[in-house]
Amino acid sequence: MTPFVRLMQFAGACLAISANAADNLPSLKGDPGSTTVSGLSSGAVMASQYDVAFSASVRGVGIVAGVAYYCAGGDILKVGICMGNVPAMPPNAALLAAAAQSFAAAGKIDSVDHLRTHRVYVFSGTNDQVVKPPAVEAVVSFYKLMGVDASALEYVNTVPSGHALITPSYGNDCAQNAAPLISHCTVNGTPYDQAGAILNHMYGHLNAPVDDLSGKMLTFNQREFAAKNTAMADDAFVYVPKACAEGAICRLHIAFHGCTQSAKAVGDKFYANGGYNRWADSNRIIVLYPQVNASLLNPQGCWDWWGFTGSEYATKAGPQMAAVKSMADRILGIN
């Protein structure tokens, strides 16, 4: 065997090891009644879709610069309207509420009655150049029509941010609309901690976040749950606080990245620096970071909110939806 052949075999072995480096998602001890979800941009829409479709097993949702549930109705030509970019033609929240009720009646999603008890956080930055105020206002209207009480619905729309997840100190300057879609803002002289605002709104008063994490960020094989044609990545991530790894019963939060914000696009910026892990560590919250990558039908690496994975994309049968639910059930020890 020539040295060149040995070198090529060694390189191939290294590639095989790299391709299979991620472990399977662990099964932990979770509180099935305490799952919450949130996201930015297309991730915010995915969070809302998950909240509505699986409302019986979710207690709250955080929607940062997102559009309303089923707004596109499977038609990519409606995307501009849904994002608030068509003057004098805002999304019709009443029609979207009717669609959710119809899906529930057909058994495609859980009963919308569960939404009445959910905690809902909605955010729109005043300098957001991507998803405009009419789009986000339709989200608020949708949840009101679903019966969410005013005391449980927090709408933040005065922060001078661009299209981004907001942290106290990490990322771009507040008003920017640029990669990695994470910015730092100050409100009334205080750094705005959006992950903390979302989690505290949904769970009530939490312990203060930590500066030094005790847990571990695990990379796991997402292909176990999602075929390649879902546009979901081979690998995804989950942050497991030390107490949760040692057997404590923990809550689950699912954080959906936005378009152009997967790990393939921005590295660890979203899952390591979005701010969730600091709060999760001190409050026994496991944070799941599912991943979707760019593809031919999805060039910006968005979560499916207009139907590129099929007509059931916003229901429990949607390929991405079903995949994330299976991940959640595994973490919670349900399967």
Active site residues: 41, 128, 163
Closest CA to 37 of 256, 332, 239, 322: 256
54 forms beta bridges with none
DSSP H/E element including 203: helix 194-203
100: which 2 tokens?
A: 């959710």
User: CB of 305 within 8 A of CB of 49?
Assistant: yes
Q: Which amino acid is at 57?
A: S
Closest CA to 136 of 158, 103, 114: 158
Exposure string (b/e) for 130-166, b if CB count within 10 Å is 16 or more?
A: bbbebbbbbbbbbbbbbebeeebbbbbeebebbbbbb
Burial class (CB in 10 A: 0-12, 13-18, 19+), 282: middle
Q: In degrees rounded to 5, what are phi and psi of residue 154?
A: -105, 120
Peptide bond into 180 cis (omega under 30): yes
Exposure string (b/e) for 223-249, b if CB count within 10 Å is 16 or more?
A: bebbeeebbbbbbbbbbbbebbbeeee
Using only C-alpha atoms, what is the Rg of the chain? 20
Q: Is the dihedral of CA 229, 230, 231, 236 positive or negative?
A: negative
Closest CA to 268 of 241, 236, 294: 236
Residue found under tokens 């409050």: 283
